[in-house]
Amino acid sequence: MSHSGTPAPATARKSENLRGTVRIPGDKSISHRSFMFGGLAAGETRITGLLEGEDVINTGKAMKAMGARIDKQGDTWIIHGTGNGALLAPEAPLDFGNAGTGCRLTMGLVGVYDFDSIFIGDASLSSRPMGRVLNPLREMGVQVTAMAGDKLPATLHGPKMPNPITYRVPMASAQVKSAVLLAGLNTPGITTVIEPVMTRDHTEKMLQGFGADLSVETDSEGVRTIRLEGRGKLTGQVIDVPGDPSSTAFPLVAALLVPGSDVTIMNVLMNPTRTGLILTLQEMGADIEVMNARNAGGEDVADLRVRHSELKGVSVPPGRAPSMIDEYPVLSVAASFAEGTTIMTGLEELRVKESDRLAAVARGLELNGVDCTEGETSLTVRGVPGGKGLGNAKGGAVKTHLDHRIAMSFLVMGLASQHPVTVDDSRMIVTSFPEFMDLMAGLGARIES
């Protein structure tokens, strides 16, 4: 997202028979890491299927500013990395736009170097807590200067000799885990991260693929201990990024809600740390057929055939939150059309996303006629099968707070509700899913911006 400009409202209207076969753009988490690890590793990394959303492009720009060479030939991104330990001091502030992942992981990656790196972002990113990453980095010897509270902008300066730590991650956050591990790449000795609740494991898997000396042990209670030997060699890789399950969620839920729909979504990442939404929707009665399940480049991948379904409310166990953390907004929309009540608990992390997603979802649902209750860390939604009375006939707009997933979730809602649903801005959808409007229109969705 740019730092200024005029909002672009969008309105979704009741649609019929969403049909077709679509390919979802590459996974955002893997795309960020592909640019980062490719930019750091010695030799050449070739990436196909990369998500070319603004968030990931900003990560690419940051890696270039620190010495990586990044070019595109046809559909393939070709990176020549600096070699581990050999990033250059960026001459200008690194601007991560809207992207928490790009910013927090790069703070770990470069923060331990003995030079200044300056981090900036848009209004949404500048309101998000950075202390969760900076606290362990301080233990490793990183000085944080020129910062108001724990919000951007921030200047980091690493020590002459970073200190390898053992860090127990206090919240379920793959970004925090990853920032510490990436700092460990340029730290002599063994950096250890203890993860009481498993979160997405792309950093561990991909670093192993690039040749890092990284091991994972899981005890009988599911607590994971990740050990990384620092200052080892990383070597360029060939990566084919699978489709993003978090972006898949939007056409998938739209197909479930719009009568007569039958949509196939190709090449979706099915890593078990990312499939909580599919499991939950299946428990609600969703007709989602998992086809051609296969392994590609070390990740589980499948095609999904989704047909319109009558959904029932469920209680979503809090322990499932890490595997569907970005999908609660669109699940809340699905729950608005289900028979009965859906109870979602363990949602504390939703409050520190691109917006306070718990509040943003609750206000949006209320504006569109949904009976819901927002708790401190929970959301309860009482659904209306068929969507009678849902939507906002007067054109009242959902406040999106620069949050792409709030915008896309409520546009999905308008495809099945009796009245249209309007969002106050749709520009930030390009951060994660630039093809969203065209892809949805191709399936038959009525969305105007």
Residues that bind ligand S3P (CB under 6 A): 29, 101, 173-175, 178, 200, 325-326, 349
CB 435 within 8 A of CB 414: no
CB 35 within 8 A of CB 70: yes
Q: Nearer to ligand S3P by C-beta: 82 or 98? A: 98
371 is catalytic: no
Q: How many helices (H) and strands (E) does the chain have?
A: 12, 24
Least distance CB 329 / ligand S3P (angstroms) = 11
Instruction: Choose, from 27, 122, 240, 326, the residue flagged as catalytic.
Output: 326
CB 393 within 8 A of CB 13: no
Q: Nearer to ligand S3P by C-beta: 101 or 368? A: 101
Peptide bond into 136 cis (omega under 30): no
Name, in order, each residue with C-beta under 8 angstroms of 135's C-beta and a sequence gap of 6 or more: none
Least distance CB 448 / ligand S3P (angstroms) = 28
Least distance CB 287 / ligand S3P (angstroms) = 27
Q: Nearer to ligand S3P by C-beta: 274 or 419? A: 274
What type of residue sits at position 349? Answer: E
- Phi and psi at residue 186, to the nearest 5°: -110, 30
Q: Nearer to ligand S3P by C-beta: 195 or 349? A: 349
- Ordered DSSP codes for 185-204: TTSSSEEEEEESS----HHH
Name, in order, each residue with C-beta under 8 angstroms of 75's C-beta and a sequence gap of 6 or more: 48
CB 71 within 8 A of CB 95: no
- Measured distance CA(447)–CA(14) in Å, rounded: 9
Least distance CB 159 / ligand S3P (angstroms) = 25
CB 332 within 8 A of CB 363: no
Least distance CB 167 / ligand S3P (angstroms) = 14
Q: Nearer to ligand S3P by C-beta: 31 or 309? A: 31
Least distance CB 384 / ligand S3P (angstroms) = 29
Q: Nearer to ligand S3P by C-beta: 57 or 397? A: 57
Q: Nearer to ligand S3P by C-beta: 29 or 124? A: 29
| Residue whose structure tokens are 């679509």 | 22
First to last CA, the chain: 17
- Measured distance CA(86)–CA(158) in Å, rounded: 14
Q: 343 by DSSP, 3-state: which?
A: strand
Q: 52 vs 30, 55, 78, 195, CA distance in Å?
A: 12, 8, 14, 30
Name, in order, each residue with C-beta under 8 angstroms of 438's C-beta and a sequence gap of 6 or more: none
Q: 396 vs 334, 360, 367, 416, 424, CA distance in Å?
A: 20, 14, 7, 17, 9
Least distance CB 173 / ligand S3P (angstroms) = 4
Least distance CB 130 / ligand S3P (angstroms) = 11
Q: Nearer to ligand S3P by C-beta: 261 or 332? A: 332
Closest CA to 337 of 284, 301, 290: 284
Catalytically active residues are 326
